[in-house]
Each structure stands twice: as structure tokens, then as C-alpha cells.
Chain A
Amino acid sequence: MIDVDVRGRYEAELLRSEAVRIADTEAALRSVLDGEVVVPLDTRRGASTGPVLTRRPASRRRWIQLAAGVVAAAAVVAVLVARRINDPAVVPPADTVVTSSTELAEPPAPWSPELQARTLDPPITCFRSASATGCPQLAVAPDGTLVEYDPAAATLTWYEDEPRIVPVTADLTGTDFDLTGPGYSGPPSLMAIGPHDVAYFLLWSPRKEEFVAVAPSGAEITRDAGPSSIESMLMPTASGIVAMPCVVSKNRCTGGSEWPAPDAPLATPWVDLAGDHITDARPYPAAKGTDTGIEVRFGEREWLVAGEPWRGHAQPQVFPRSDGGVVMLHDLTFDGPRQPVNLIELLPDGTIERYVVPRGTVLPDGSIIIEQNDELIRLTPPT
């Protein structure tokens, strides 16, 4: 039986992604503001005849659970709408990543009230509608620098002392993807910034995916086909990004009880600027579900988050803190990207602090950037 709703939403997502790809919003805006004659509707052009395909696109999802990943990462091929392309915003140095300017008077739900909520300076805004979340894609470089990817402008912005905008010249259009029509690919997703500040993009489709490693200059270094099983969860390790297969059932991606799984295949290796495979010398946190809770290891340190369940679909995400601790995001409900998750701070002295936050991008100081009212804000645990 055809599920019209599922199919309709899926096809609409593809269409919106295509629209974002073809819409040259800034050029169109300039044309209107400059008073140029708006491009006349071409009445001589006949209706196009797009191909009717013979294959039905599989309704699969790419499950993304990746450190320093995308805001609202559980969204499937989220439509990414460019935020402002004004003069680059000045953001403080990397060790603080983004500092505060305005303390929010009354932090509304859904985060723990003891978390300090601050707007970013300058503000980073999102586009939100019932159909799309247009927050920028964020990742964190090994040195803690916040990096933003704007898929519409095809730029990476490195929020260093002075923001540095780098045009991405690597081909992220995925035009060779054989999907529902010629030239289509899902919007590229910035998955991680690896060693040597190499950015790793995922080009996603229901049938196929590619990882593209992009140099700090914006040029392509390597391109990998990605794992054979698209239904998998991604996680960075010392070797690269691994894909842990999972079983999708009832909108959930259920995997094993260990992150990363010992036999998880490598989806894409870390590479240096020459494209040679390398291993990251930095430690990566790992987690394992036990009868008493979740064990977390990071370098020489270990924690036991007692009583925290590991329920198949509720695998935690673990992120390194710059002080040697770990941040764990744990979604016990998996009811969607808008649902609050547990933020568990595993401090170097063994202390464990628990909070509730929306999903977001974890920073090395233990804070998290989330979307709130069409704007990205930062939640910082008390010190």
C-alpha cells in the first residue's frame, strides 16, 4: 500500500532541495533592488518535459549522528536556505568560539534553567517555516574554531579572529547521481572538520552517497563512495568517519550497544592535504551500554553514567571537551530533531552533570549551539 504522506513529503523535500540549489537568491535580489527589469517570463518557451522515471525512489533515510555535526541533524535532507550574506560577522577567537553579547532574560523551555543562554555575537539567524529549517550548517575544527557552511553560497566561513570566508570550489553537486532525475543530488552536508582542517561533506541520496574531502582552500582532495549500507549511523574515530549499520524500524535507527562498534566499516578516512590516508593522533571518546549504565572512555579517563539506559535506538553521542572531559548527548525518545535530549557533562574530575537541551552543535568547552526562535544561541553549563 502506498503511503501517500511519506512519499509526498519525501518528494517535496527533494524538490525544495532542488529549488535551493537552483535559486540564485542574491543575484535575483540585487536585480530587484537595483531596479533592473525583472527577468520577463518567457512566453515563448514551451513547457519542459522532464523525464518520467521508471524506477521508484526508495524511501530511505540517511541517519546522521556525528560529532560536530549539523544542527537538527536528524532532519532528512533538510532544506538549507542561505542565511544573510552580508559583510562577514566578527566572532571572537576560537578558544571561545562564539561569545555572548546579550543574555536572554528568561530562558524558555526546553532547556534546563541553570544553563546560561546567550545570543551569538553577531547573531546567526535561521530561516524557519513549517516546511524547512534553514539554520546554517556548523562544525568545529580540531582547534575549536567554529566553521559554517552555506550551501547556497557554497562557502565555508571560519570564525577565527576575523571571519574567513572560503569559496568551496569542489564539486558538491553530485550530478552523476542517478536518482529521480538528471542532475539531482541532496544538499551537501558538512559532516566534520578533520585533521589539517579538511572539511568532509556528505552528498546524500536515497541510493547512493559520497564523501568529499575539501581542503581549507575549498578545493576537492578526495571523493569516496561511502558505505554500502546507507542505513547506518556515522561517527568520527581516529581513522575517519565510520558507519555503523542499523536497522530502521518505526522511524528509528537501531544499532548495537557500543560506539563505535568494533567492526564498524570506515565510511571515509581522514586524509591530509595530499589525499593520503592518515590517522588522527587525538583521542576520540567511546561509549558502551552496560547493565548498570553507560561507560564512557576518553583517553585514560573513564566514567560510568549510572542508570542511563542504552535502549537500542537511543545510542548516545559523545563529543570531546577541550579540558579532557566528554559531552554526551542522549536522546531517549528519538521523537524527532525538535525533541529535547539529555546533555551529560563528564568532567575531568569525574563529576557528572546532567541537563536537558534541544539538539545542537556541541562546542569543545561543553556548551552547545542550538536554534531558538529562528536564531542560533549558545547554552553554557554553569562553571
Chain B
Amino acid sequence: VVVDVEGFTNLFRREHPRLVALGLALTGDRESACDLAQETLARAYRSWERFEQHEAPAAWLRRVLINLAVDEHRRAQSEQAAVLRAWPRDMADGLPGADSLPAVGGEWWAAVRALPGRERLAITLFYVEDYSVGEIAAVMEIADGTVRATLAQARKKLAVALAAQEDAVG
């Protein structure tokens, strides 16, 4: 594989911290987040020629990371419980749940993790990546309108969940 090292280096330095952030939001684990980001970019490196031709390389990176996170969690689950879970309906359904929270913003991420998979992923991309509806749609490979509806639903649920958290704290 012919790799434009300078181009890849620039890509790596630009994207690595952001991918770590996304990994942190998805997995709640620092080491996993760093592993996911590195492995994602390594895959781009190993398939550089194809990666460079990609129309939406940023979206590709995020899809890879999300799928890796799903795979990792699924493997961990299966090992721990010795039970192979049902195959998720979409790529977000296999992500870690509310028992795996980032070290920062625990309450917020607990509420996010309680959302259904698609809503959880859309909200994460919206805030952590600050992505537009179109960008989220590109990553999740769904329609813009679906993203809007998903975000609206997720926000409503988050408002309720966060209000309940506040009430509980008093």
C-alpha cells in the first residue's frame, strides 16, 4: 500500500483526539477509547489508497470506530456472561450501556446511555462531534429527516431524565 505519510500524519493528528473523545463517549473507558481511536486510524493507514478516495473519510472513520466499539463490547459481554447476545438491529444497539460511563459527566452520559441505540448515537455525534444533521446522517447512513426526528426524540427523553436526576438530588 502506498501511503502519503505526511497526509496520514496530518490526518492522524487532526482526528486522533476527536476519535478518542467519541470512543470515550461510546465506551466510557479511557483505554478502550484510545485503543479504538488508534485501531481506527491504523485501518485507514492499512487501506490508505482506498481511504483517500473516500467521499466522506471523516464519516468512514467514525463508522469504523463505532463498529469496533460495538464489536469490543459484544465480545466482552459474551466472554463475561458466556452468552452470545442477539445481533443488534443497528450498529448503535451493541454499544455499552449505562453501566459504562465516562469518567466525566457521569449523570449526563448515564441519561444518554439509557436512550435507545440510534438516539444515543445521534446525540453523541451531535454533541461530542458537534456534527450537523447531514454529517450525522452520513455516519449513521440514514436519512436527514430520520436524524432530525431521532434527535428531537432523544432531547425530549434527556430533558425528562435530567429533570428526574435533579429531583432525586433535591
Q: Give A residues with C-beta under 8 Å from B.
A: 1-2, 4-5, 7-9, 11-12, 14-20, 22-25, 28-29, 31-33, 38-57, 79, 81-84, 127, 129-132, 152, 179-184
Residues in chain A near residue B35, CB distance under 8 A: 39-42
Q: How far is the CA of A47 from the CA of B29 in the complex (A)?
A: 7
Which secondary structure characterizes the binding site on chain A? loop
Q: Is B64 in the interface zone, CB < 8 Å from A?
A: no
Query: B28 interface residue, CB < 8 Å from A?
Result: yes
Given A8-B126, A24-B34, A50-B102, 9 further pairs, Cβ under 8 A: A15-B25, A18-B104, A19-B23, A32-B38, A38-B38, A49-B100, A130-B129, A130-B131, A184-B104
Whether A4 lies near B16 (C-beta < 8 A) is no
The reply to whether B104 and A52 contact each other, CB–CB distance below 8 Å, is no
Residue of A whose beta carbon sits closest to that of B16: A25
B149 to chain A, nearest CB (A): 16
Interface residues of B, count at CB 8 A: 68
The answer to whether A184 and B9 have CB atoms under 8 Å apart is: no
Is there an interface contact between B12 and A32, defined as CB atoms closer than 8 Å?
yes
Contacts of A15 in B (CB 8 A): 21, 24-25, 102, 104-105, 109, 128
Q: How far is the CA of A181 from the CA of B68 in the complex (A)?
A: 26
Residues of A within 8 A of B79 (CB): 43-44
Q: Does B144 contact A (CB under 8 A)?
A: no
Please report the C-alpha to C-alpha distance between residue A11 and residue B39 in the assembled complex, in whole angstroms: 25
* The residue from B20, B163, B165, B166 contacting A23, defined by CB atoms under 8 A apart: B20
Would you give 10 A-B contacts (Cβ < 8 Å), ordered by A?
A: A16-B18, A22-B24, A23-B34, A25-B16, A28-B41, A32-B42, A47-B100, A48-B27, A79-B17, A82-B17
List the B side residues contacting A1 at CB < 8 Å: 159, 163
Nearest 9 A/B pairs, CB to CB: A131-B130, A19-B21, A47-B100, A11-B105, A50-B101, A12-B127, A11-B108, A23-B20, A19-B20
Interface membership of chain B positions 57-100, coded 1 if the CB is closer than 8 angstroms to chain A and 0 otherwise = 00000000000100111011001100000000000000010011
Residues of B whose CB lies within 8 Å of any CB of A are 5, 8-9, 12-14, 16-18, 20-21, 23-25, 27-39, 41-42, 45, 68, 71-73, 75-76, 79-80, 96, 99-110, 123, 126-132, 135, 155, 158-159, 162-163, 165-166, 169
Contact yes or no, A4 B106, CB < 8 A: no
Nearest-neighbour CB distance to chain B for A15, whole angstroms, equals: 6
Whether the pair A39, B38 counts as a contact (CB closer than 8 A) is: yes
Give the residue name and chain of the B residue nearest to A8 (CB). Answer: B127
Q: Say which residue of A7, A16, A46 sits within 8 Å of B162 (CB atoms).
A: A7
Q: Determine which of B41, B101, B127 lies in contact with A49 in the assembled complex, contact meaning CB atoms within 8 Å.
A: B101
Q: Which of A2, A33, A49, A52 contacts B5 (CB 8 A)?
A: A33
A84-B13 contact, Cβ under 8 Å, with A32-B42, A44-B79: yes
Would B159 and A4 count as touching, CB distance under 8 A? Answer: yes
Q: A41 and B21: CB pair below 8 A? A: no
Q: How far is the CA of A31 from the CA of B110 in the complex (A)?
A: 33
Q: How far is the CA of A368 from the CA of B35 in the complex (A)?
A: 40
CA distance A100 to B41 in the complex (A): 35
Q: A16-B128, A127-B14 are in contact. Are A181 and B80 (CB under 8 A)?
A: no
Point out the residues of chain A lying under 8 angstroms from B30, CB to CB. 22, 48
